[in-house]
Structure 1
Amino acid sequence: METKKKTMDILVIGLALFAMFFGAGNLIFPPFLGMQAGESWFTGFLCFFVADVGLALCAILSMIRIGDVSMEGLTGRLGKVPSTMINLLIVLCIGPFLAIPRTAATTFEMAILPLFPNVNSWVFGAIFFGLVLLLAIRPSGVIDIIGKFLTPLLVICLLALIFKGYQEPIGDIVPAVVEFHTAKEGILAGYQTMDVLAAVVFVIIVISSAKAKGYTETKDTMSVIIKASLVAAVALFVVYGGLAFLGATTSAGGFSDLNQTALVVAITKSLMGHAGVWILAIIVLFACLTTAVGLTSSCSSYVSELTKGRLSYGKLAGIMVVFSYVVSNFGISTIIGIAAPILTLLYPVILVMIVLGFFHHRIENNRIHQFAVIFALVISALDVVASYGYAVPYIDMLPFAQFQCGWIVPAIIGGLIGKCFSKGDDVYAQEMA
């Protein structure tokens, strides 16, 4: 009976983790990647999966390993001011700057425009964010109902779409017509989901769920979360892989002028007709609404705590909704374009802290963390400069640069230099005392 209960708990937590990571906005990246990669779609998908799901799960396990399941626990060894700045930037990225506006833009382009082409984005946005504010300020059982029933419905419909696309492909899968760096673009698409940043918040919910089910010992918690993570990873692997395959079946032509959201709608319409577009629209609407409410709530709570209550939760929720409303009208392509350089800068910092988190109790000096992050940040900044067409000597010659990971070796060098500044004193222990 005990084994049966544990298996059920792992399944429930795994599916919850899947639901948290699988936002409707994530629908748009795998198909677009598949279309661009063509015959190399599986390579692109694997890079996407590792940069998205793989790193997000590593973030969760790293925070468990550290023993402090909070944002400060992950970034604290950088120092109070840098840690606060990075955490605030994470919250702004998964909040009003990028992720929340993307939910509305995705809903408008995938659910509203295909069915009601004359609707204005500002009018839709006002209605959408009005509902977000209402539900975020006064949470009710409505959110639980949407999460419990519409997420499984979304997955069932997606699996049906994937199966139909496998049985009756839209077209032949051909090589990419233009030069396309499959691995690099897959990694960048994985960054764009922002799931690694969201995982820093999600881990608190997952740990609380495990403890509420009776797994209070660290060893038991780790075991349950690892197994639940595998459940979520397998589910996400199937769904994302299927979506990338559907995108690859459009690589022969006729879809190249579509952006990310329009491509998903076109694939759905090709496979399931106009009725499929209606089903997709309804599910995307509620899935995005739920995601927007959750992000608004968590981000407002964090900033309210950061200001020690001087800015109330309600006021912050209102500010975030209004700001998100304005940004959402830039359109999904513009939001993705804005996100790219920001995430290129932020991700290496978080990834360095995640990796070092696994060795948290063996590293005695904060300089290792600080120098590793500084070196990674400098290289990432140069990558951003190069992406705008400016010549940056030798940046492409760094190891792993072709995978947008040229910061890895400099971060290691930075960590080694930081170690040289250590005099054997446990700086971290002194600061925490």
Structure 2
Amino acid sequence: MKVLKGQDILALGFMTFALFVGAGNIIFPPIVGLQSGPHVWMAALGFLITAVGLPVITVVALAKVGGGMDALSSPIGKVAGGLLAAVAYLAVGPLFATPRTATVSFEVGLAPLTGDTPLALFLYSAVYFLLVFFISLYPGRLLDTVGRFLAPLKIIALAVLGIAAFALPAGPVGVAEPAYVAAPFSQGFINGYLTMDTLGALVFGIVIVNAIRSRGVESPVLITRYAIIAGLIAGVGLALVYISLFRLGAGSPSVAAGASNGAMVLHAYVQHTFGSLGSGFLAVLISLACLVTAVGLTCACAEYFSRVLPLSYKTLVVLLAAFSLLVSNLGLTKLIAFSIPVLTAIYPPCIALVALSFCNEFWRSPTRVVAPVMAVSLLFGLIDALKGAGLGDWLPASLAHLPLSDQGLAWLVPTVVALAGAVVFDRVMGKPAEAIA
């Protein structure tokens, strides 16, 4: 029976970590740290739940079912499951996350050197997505290209930045913004959505499993075990990166006062700490981090859509890279503004699906429990999304002031109530007729 060597397991863990650490992972923690001030670690706790805990749990859940999102979503039926998968893949693929990797790496790393002009962004993104295209054409080599080469370089660069954040703080911790004074934990929790790590985990599950199979491992038990180990390695790495970036942001009000996003905070800190060499270092770090994630997302999306559309994997890689190139030229600010309400709406049902997947053996019929709970979480997630999009005035007063609504968690209480009701209904109805037969 084929097994992975220790160095292959470590490379798999590095690859999984490198796939996750992209644009959002690097730009959101510094701004949260800056804005939360003395409440930084309470905000960090909420952020780590949605940006580390949930993705690791998702990788484990997917490993248990063989890596495919379709198996995970089977309790809600093929149509609903296919729709959820398509939305998740598009969100973390060509609509938001993949283009964002290019805009972030440009605006943080290169724009300070070349100027933030449309032409510079286009030329950079053209070269960037050309590299993404060529690397993504050979998904079977990801463990070698990413796990053994690109990921270690990325980890070294992040380690330098993380150590500097603690050893060389830019200054004292500043004053927290009102939102973080009122509810630092929930603000951090919601900001963790923006990394898209849980959606990324739903997408990367099949990439991780395929990387294991590319080494000749066929045993479902071993595939699950290796995927879980890889998820845990990635989770530890993500937590360390986030904690260092929270510290970096919290100590940067003296050099990044008035910054509107994490890219500005990062650039200000690196310029202050490393001087003129800092911009070059940051350009390499961000570009490398984002490129690896873009490759993983492109491979995963092409792999999925090649199974549901009459198009080949290579054709889809071309289409995905080209479309991502076009969207990336909209600019970072527009991408983030548009993605926030969409992510706020689709995260709650994804969280419910992953959490309930560990309890399927307790239900007499998983469909009776999972489907209604996900429907309720989506409905109330849409309410949070409308408020996040500035359309809260359109809502009736009764919906605009639900429990935890002010903290962006209006979906939580109704979802728990729906779960309790669904469990009772499931018990009363007993086993489905086909199960008895």
TM-score range for the pair, normalised by the shorter chain length: 0.7 to 0.9
AA matched with 1:35: L
Offset from partner CA, 1:216-263 (integer Å, 9 cap, x none): 363x66555545444332222222101110000113564323432222
Moved more, 178-187 or 204-213: 204-213
Q: How does 1:187-202 map to 2 (within 5 A)?
A: 187-202=189-204
Q: Which SS does the other structure have where 1:115 is aligned?
A: helix
Which position in structure 2 is the counterpart of 1:71?
A: 69
Counterparts in 2 of 1:165 and 1:411: CA distance versus 1, 3 Å = closer
Which position in structure 1 is the counterpart of 2:99?
A: 101
Offset from partner CA, 1:342-368 (integer Å, 9 cap, x none): 111111111111111011122222121
Q: Report the alpha carbon displacement of residue 111 of structure 1 after superposing the two structures with TM.
A: 2.1
Q: Report the alpha carbon displacement of residue 37 of structure 1 after superposing the two structures with TM.
A: 0.7
Q: Which SS does the other structure have where 1:410 is aligned?
A: helix
Which position in structure 2 is the counterpart of 1:54?
A: 53
AA matched with 2:87: L
Q: How does 1:21-40 map to 2 (within 5 A)?
A: 21-40=20-39
Q: How does 1:234-383 map to 2 (within 5 A)?
A: 234-252=236-254, 254-307=256-309, 310-365=310-365, 366-383=367-384
**Alignment partners' CA distance in 2, 1:348 and 1:428:** 31
Counterparts in 2 of 1:243 and 1:225: CA distance versus 1, 3 Å = same
Q: Report % sequence identity.
A: 30
**Alignment partners' CA distance in 2, 1:313 and 1:229:** 26
**Alignment partners' CA distance in 2, 1:372 and 1:314:** 38
Offset from partner CA, 1:61-107 (integer Å, 9 cap, x none): 22344x34311111111111111111000110111000110011012
Is 1:415 paired with 2:419?
yes
Equivalent residue for 1:111, pick from 106, 109, 112: 109
Offset from partner CA, 1:126-172 (integer Å, 9 cap, x none): 23223333433466969944553333233223322332332332111
Q: Which SS does the other structure have where 2:175 is aligned?
A: coil
Counterparts in 2 of 1:349 and 1:236: CA distance versus 1, 3 Å = same
Offset from partner CA, 1:267-309 (integer Å, 9 cap, x none): 11111111121122123223322322222222122112112xx
Which position in structure 2 is the counterpart of 1:393?
A: 397
Counterparts in 2 of 1:227 and 1:306: CA distance versus 1, 3 Å = closer
- Give unpaired runs (5+ residues) of structure 1: none
Q: Is contact 1:107-1:281 (8 Å) kept?
A: yes
TM-score by length of 2: 0.86
AA matched with 2:219: T
TM-score by length of 1: 0.87
Moved more, 8-17 or 39-48: 8-17
Q: Report the alpha carbon displacement of residue 188 of structure 1 after superposing the two structures with TM.
A: 2.2
Counterparts in 2 of 1:328 and 1:427: CA distance versus 1, 3 Å = farther
Q: Which SS does the other structure have where 2:99 is aligned?
A: helix
Q: Is contact 2:29-2:249 (8 Å) kept?
A: yes
**Alignment partners' CA distance in 1, 2:359 and 2:345:** 23
Moved more, 55-64 or 388-397: 388-397
Which position in structure 2 is the counterpart of 1:150?
A: 150
Counterparts in 2 of 1:39 and 1:315: CA distance versus 1, 3 Å = same
**Alignment partners' CA distance in 1, 2:228 and 2:122:** 43
Alignment: residue pair count? 423
Q: Is contact 2:51-2:198 (8 Å) kept?
A: yes
Q: Which SS does the other structure have where 1:40 is aligned?
A: helix
**Alignment partners' CA distance in 1, 2:150 and 2:132:** 17
Q: Is contact 1:128-1:289 (8 Å) kept?
A: yes
Counterparts in 2 of 1:104 and 1:208: CA distance versus 1, 3 Å = closer
Q: Which SS does the other structure have where 1:406 is aligned?
A: coil
Moved more, 94-103 or 140-149: 140-149
Q: How does 1:168-247 map to 2 (within 5 A)?
A: 168-180=168-180, 181-207=183-209, 216=219, 218=221, 225-247=227-249
Equivalent residue for 2:432, pick from 422, 426, 429: 426
Q: Is contact 2:14-2:147 (8 Å) kept?
A: no
Q: Is contact 2:256-2:264 (8 Å) kept?
A: no
**Alignment partners' CA distance in 2, 1:251 and 1:84:** 45
Counterparts in 2 of 1:357 and 1:156: CA distance versus 1, 3 Å = same
Which position in structure 1 is the counterpart of 2:41?
A: 42
